[in-house]
Amino acid sequence: MRSMTIDKDGDSIVVVFLDGRISDEVRIMEIGDDLTKIASKIAAGQALILDFQNVEYFSSAMVGQIAQIRKTTEKNGAEMRLRNISPLIQAILQAMHLDGIFHVENPDG
């Protein structure tokens, strides 16, 4: 089952998640593996954008995967941004005191 699309937008790689909820542990591990492969190939100066336009909720396990991907992209001199996060996801990040760690883009850019 395909749960995300991957596109290039200028110097950015944009991953759009298709599922409304990301909470299954096995699926989160698969997503993490896929994102690690992408992040390890990203070059300095590029951006990896994780677009959650379709996602209303994800579990804390997904937050852990995103944190790992952030470390990988920064190690490569690239950046990771979150785009189109729902109010519930924003609240999860705030509760975990991570809202200041992740670069979050507003829906209109």
Q: How confident is the model over 6-57, as pLDDT tens digits? A: 999 999 999 999 999 999 999 999 999 999 999 999 999 999 999 999 999 9
Report the CATH fold assignment for 4-105: Transcription Regulator spoIIAA (3.30.750)
Q: How crowded is residue 18: how many other Cβ atoms within 10 Å of its Cβ?
A: 13
- Residue scoring higher pLDDT (99 or 65): 65
pLDDT in the model for residue 3: 85
107 pLDDT band, cuts 50/70/90, is: low
**CA atoms of 3 and 74, how far apart (whole Å):** 25
Which of 91, 78, 87, 79 lies closest to 106, judged by CA?
Answer: 87
Full-model pTM? 0.91
Query: Under a CB-based contact definition with an 8 Å cutoff, are residues 82 and 102 in contact?
Result: yes
Q: How crowded is residue 41: how many other Cβ atoms within 10 Å of its Cβ?
A: 12
Which of 100, 30, 32, 24 lies closest to 59, judged by CA?
Answer: 24
pLDDT tens per residue, range 58-71: 998 999 999 999 99
108 pLDDT band, cuts 50/70/90, is: low
